[in-house]
Amino acid sequence: MIEGLLPPGVASSEAFDDAAPAPLFPAEAALLAGRRERRRRQFATARACARRCLADLGHAPVPLLPGPGGAPAWPPGVVGSITHCDGYRAAVADHRTHTSALGIDAEPAGPLPPGVLGLITSPAERAHLATLTEAHPDIFWERIFFSAKEAAYKAWYPSTGIWLGFRQATLTLSPTGTFTCVLHPPPHAPPANPHYEGRWLSTSTLVLTAVHREG
Ligand X SMILES: CC(C)(COP(=O)(O)OP(=O)(O)OC[C@H]1O[C@@H](n2cnc3c(N)ncnc32)[C@H](O)[C@@H]1OP(=O)(O)O)[C@@H](O)C(=O)NCCC(=O)NCCS
Specify the residue, 13 or 83, whose C-beta has the smaller distance to ligand X.
83
Exposed / middle / buried, residue 81 (Cβ in 10 Å: 0-12, 13-18, 19+): buried
Interface residue with ligand X among 10, 48, 152, 207 (CB under 6 A) is 152
Length of the chain: 215
Contact at 8 Å (CB) between 6 and 212? yes
- Which residue is at the shortest CB distance from ligand X? 70
Specify the residue, 5 or 183, whose C-beta has the smaller distance to ligand X.
183
Specify the residue, 135 or 215, whose C-beta has the smaller distance to ligand X.
215
Q: Does 150 bind ligand X (CB under 6 A)?
A: yes
Three-class secondary structure of residue 83 per DSSP? strand
* Total site size for ligand X, rule CB under 6 A: 26
Q: Does 78 bind ligand X (CB under 6 A)?
A: no
Contact at 8 Å (CB) between 107 and 207? yes
Q: Does 9 bind ligand X (CB under 6 A)?
A: no
CB of 109 to ligand X, least distance (A): 14
Q: Does 207 bind ligand X (CB under 6 A)?
A: no
d(CA 151, CA 171): 11
90-102 core/surface letters (b: 16 or more CB in 10 A; e: else)? bbbbbbeeebbbb
List the interface residues with ligand X, window 101-130 (CB under 6 A).
Answer: 105-106
Q: Does 202 bind ligand X (CB under 6 A)?
A: no
Q: Does 72 bind ligand X (CB under 6 A)?
A: yes
Q: Does 211 bind ligand X (CB under 6 A)?
A: no
Beta bridge partners of 12: 92
Q: Does 18 bind ligand X (CB under 6 A)?
A: no
Specify the residue, 45 or 132, whose C-beta has the smaller distance to ligand X.
45
Contact at 8 Å (CB) between 173 and 128? yes
CB of 134 to ligand X, least distance (A): 25
Three-class secondary structure of residue 162 per DSSP? coil
d(CA 29, CA 32): 5
Give, in order, the Cα–Cα distances in Å from 57 to each of 5, 53, 54, 64. Answer: 18, 6, 5, 15
Specify the residue, 168 or 202, whose C-beta has the smaller distance to ligand X.
168
Q: Which residues bind ligand X (CB under 6 A)?
A: 43, 46, 66, 69-72, 82-85, 105-106, 149-150, 152-154, 157-158, 164-166, 168-169, 183
